[in-house]
Each structure stands twice: as C-alpha cells, then as structure tokens.
Chain A
Amino acid sequence: DQQVKQNSPSLSVQEGRISILNCDYTNSMFDYFLWYKKYPAEGPTFLISISSIKDKNEDGRFTVFLNKSAKHLSLHIVPSQPGDSAVYFCAASEMNRDDKIIFGKGTRLHILP
C-alpha cells in the first residue's frame, strides 16, 4: 500500500513556464514533507520542505503548498529552467520516526526549450 503517491511518472513543461508537481499521501500521522531532486548517476539532493503547521513554504523559484484536508502537496517551480530537468521525489515523515521517511516513486520533469 503506497503511503506517498506521485501519480505522474513524467511531466514536460516549456522553459519559462510554471512546473507543478503533485504528491498525495494517505497516512494522517505524517507531519513533515520534503522534496528531493535527482539527476542521473547522482544521489537525491534536498530541495524544500514544509511542516504540517504551515500551508506554504517558498524558497526562491520553488514553492511547496500543503493541503492537509486533501492530504495533498504540490511543488511549484517558476520560472522553469533547463537545469530543472530531473526526477523529483516527494517524501513524508512522522516526527522523530527515522524509519518512517516514506518516498514517492518520483516524477521525471522535462523542461523543453
């Protein structure tokens, strides 16, 4: 049973436009959410996070929105750049539970010139 779902395996967006990556979760005990970015042949790198007490967190071109009632979060990238082409993983965790960091399957983002 997937607790963290990224239902779009891939997404193509024109350079300069907004990229929106979506993530749904089922476990209501999750209270911290993170996005990681991964290039081929490299490990994932941390991008941005949000705790359940907030509904939005912004860092430069990246904004994460959390809708707790819908158990849904999204990552917005504005404007999209060629270097944003990568696989993006959504992850969710429970407070102080190292064994409960659950990753989604990832969404591959292609930024088109």
Chain B
Amino acid sequence: NAGVTQTPKFQVLKTGQSMTLQCAQDMNHNSMYWYRQDPGMGLRLIYYSASEGTTDKGEVPNGYNVSRLNKREFSLRLESAAPSQTSVYFCASSETRGVGSPLHFGNGTRLTVT
C-alpha cells in the first residue's frame, strides 16, 4: 500500500529557479492538499483541491501554483524560488472534504533554496 507518494524527497534550488513537486495517491480519495512545515511552526495549508478539476488557496498561497492533473495527482509548482520557501512540503489526501475525514500524508519533500 503506497498511500501518498511524494517526489522528490530532497531538493536544493538556487533563488529564481523553478521546480514542480509531485504528489500521487492510490486511495481513490477526492480531496488533496499541500502543506508546508517550518521549524517551530505547525503545518500551514498552501493550496487544496476538494475534487478533481477544482483548486483553492489556503493560508499561504503566494509564490505557488498547483495543478490537479487527475484524481490521483496534485502537483505544486514554484515558479521563481525564494529563500523564504525553504521548508518541508507535505502532500495529503482525504476521502471527502471537510470534517470526519482524516488527512493521509506523504513523507514530505525537504526543499532548500539558497
């Protein structure tokens, strides 16, 4: 059971470079999410997708774009990376939107922007 798979696990970028973080889930979940975790901070929502074909901004969307490619895949793109985007990024999915449906997380992508 793969669950939620994120690639890559680690990435180092120079300021201004772009990259896409990939996420795929095999649980047939409808909702998918991107969070970032910074030292001493909780998880903060960047973007989410309540269902295939829809995306919405979360708490900290600036500097990011997302694509819900199909039901399985939800990618996060950094167009022009900045040192403030150094963080650990977690993708998550849930069966349905809203309460009562816990999030299932991937193992994260550790991104460093120099």
Contacts and interface: CB of A to CB of B under 8 A. Distances in A.
Interface of A: 4, 9, 31-32, 34, 36, 41-46, 49, 51, 89, 91, 93-99, 101-106
Contact of A32 (B42, B57, B97, B99): B99
A41 B110 CA distance: 9
A94 B100 CA distance: 10
B90 interface: yes
Given A43-B106, A104-B42, 8 more contacts: A32-B99, A42-B107, A42-B108, A43-B90, A44-B105, A46-B104, A49-B100, A106-B42
Nearest to A90: B42
Nearest to B102: A46
Contacts of B4: 43
Interface of B: 4, 31, 33, 35, 40-45, 48, 50, 56-59, 90, 92, 97-100, 102-108
B78 to A, nearest CB: 20
Given A4-B42, A43-B92, A44-B43, A101 B103 contact: yes
Contacts of B44: 103
Nearest to A97: B98
A110 B16 CA distance: 40
Contacts of B103: 36, 44, 46, 101
B98 A95 contact: yes
A35 to B, nearest CB: 10
Nearest to B103: A46
A101 to B, nearest CB: 7
Nearest to A49: B102
Nearest to A92: B99
25 contacts: A4-B42, A9-B40, A36-B105, A43-B92, A43-B107, A43-B108, A44-B43, A44-B90, A44-B103, A46-B103, A46-B104, A49-B100, A51-B100, A93-B98, A95-B99, A97-B98, A98-B33, A98-B48, A98-B97, A98-B98, A99-B56, A99-B59, A101-B103, A102-B42, A103-B35
